[in-house]
Amino acid sequence: MTLTRSDRILRTIALLCLAAVGFALVSQHVFGMRPCAWCVLQRLILLAIAAVCGLAGTGWGQAAVRRIGAVLAAVLAVCGIAAAWYQYTVAANAFSCAQTFADRFISGSGLDAALPWLFGIYASCADARVSLLGVEYAVWGLILFVVCAALALWSLAGRPRHA
């Protein structure tokens, strides 16, 4: 089985997203950086992108499956960009992010109760405003989502090659 360029790109996106969620979990559970609702929503989006890209980039899928996966990944990345941008520009400056879309979505889905170590909301957006190397986590998330969108679109570029 030969992997196409698209397969490799989709797998790279999946690994980047899983690494980012792993980094967020280490930040939370080892360094005590409690996540807000928007942080948790971005984790969910990253996991969705990883799942889509992991399945689409299996190497045995049809070109159409890879293309659909890349389009879904790009759409999810745009959702992540919107979430990270909102967190950075609006939510982080508010006293509380309770009852925002992210809070209602995560709480309404039951993910925070089912997997609190992964999707638990433990801080307000203002309290969760943390920097790494002088750059806020929300901006790092924004950059990652932009990279994921660009990679997904790149995997769509060019002539599709069959495995």
- Backbone φ and ψ of 123, nearest 5°: -150, 160
- Reported as a pLDDT band with limits 50, 70 and 90, residue 98 is low
Q: What is the pLDDT of residue 112?
A: 87
Tokens, residue 110: 């039951």
Instruction: Provide φ and ψ at 157, rounded to 5°.
Output: -70, 150
> Residues 133-145: pLDDT tens digits?
777 888 899 999 9
pLDDT at 163 over 50: no
More confident residue, 60 or 4: 4
How many whole angstroms separate alpha carbon 137 and alpha carbon 87? 10
Regarding predicted confidence, which is higher, 2 or 126? 2
Tell me the residue type at 124.
S
- Nearest Cα to Cα of residue 105 among 19, 44, 34: 44
Which domains does the chain show, CATH number per domain?
5-156 (1.20.1550.10)
Mean pLDDT, residues 106-110 taken together: 88
